[in-house]
Amino acid sequence: MKKRFSTSPHYWVGLALVIVALLFLPAGYGLAQTPATSTLLDSPVVTPTATPIPTGEILGYHTVQSGETLFCIGRAYGVDPYAIARQNGILNPNVIRPAMRLAIPNVPRTLPSGQVCPRQFNGTTVPPTCRWYHTVVWGENLYRISLRYGVSMYAIAEANHILNLNLIFAGHVLCIP
C-alpha cells in the first residue's frame, strides 16, 4: 500500500505544492504562534490590534442603536465609515453592536445613497423622552407591547431606532415614549 502512494502522481503534486508554499510564503504566514523574522523580507510581522488609531479631530460621540451600521452613521455625519472604524479600533467594519460608543472623526466623505441614522450630537436630534422603560421578554412582539402601554408601535420603533418592526430581541430595554 505504501508503495502505491509513493509512486502515485497525486502524491508528488501535493508534496511539490507543500514545498513551494513553505519556500515562498513570508514568515508571518506559517503556523507558528510566535512572530518569526524573515530572511527574505526585512519588515516585521504586523498583527492586527484593537487599539484605537487617532485620525484627527473628533466631531463628537455616537452611541450605536439596534439596526445601525457604520455606513448609516457615516452618512449621518458625512464622515468616512472606515475612518470611524480606525478611530475606534474596530477590526471588522461590518460588526458593530448596540450600545457601543463611537468617536466620530473629522474625515469628510460623500457616500452613496442609503439608510441614514439619526444624528446624536450638534443639537440636531433631541433624544426622545421616555415615559416608561420596558424589558422585552421572550415571545413578546412590538404590537403587544404597544397595546400594553397604549402607544403606537411606530412611535416605539422610532424612539428606539428599530428598523424592522418584526425583529426585537429578549433582553432589550425599550424606551416607551
Domains parsed from the chain with CATH numbers: 48-125 (3.10.350.10), 132-176 (3.10.350.10)
Predicted local distance difference test score (pLDDT) of residue 10? 65
Q: What is the pLDDT of residue 70?
A: 92
- What is the reported pLDDT for 144? 93
pLDDT of residue 169: 87
What is the average per-residue pLDDT within 135-143? 92
Phi, psi (rounded to 5 degrees) for 72: -65, -40
**pLDDT at site 81:** 93
Task: Report pLDDT for 123.
Answer: 39
Q: Which residues, in sequence order, are CB contacts of 20 under 8 Å at separation 6+?
A: none
* DSSP H or E stretch at residue 147: helix 142-149
pLDDT tens for residues 31-59? 434 344 444 444 444 444 444 445 458 88
Per residue in 70-85, pLDDT (tens digit) is 999 998 888 999 999 9
Query: Are the beta carbons of 104 and 60 closer than 8 angstroms?
Result: yes
Q: What integer is the mean pLDDT of 14-30?
A: 60
Compute the C-alpha angle 100/49/97, nearest 5°. Answer: 20
Sign of CA dihedral 122, 126, 132, 133: negative
The average pLDDT across 60-65 equals 89
The residue among 158 and 137 whose pLDDT is bigger is 137
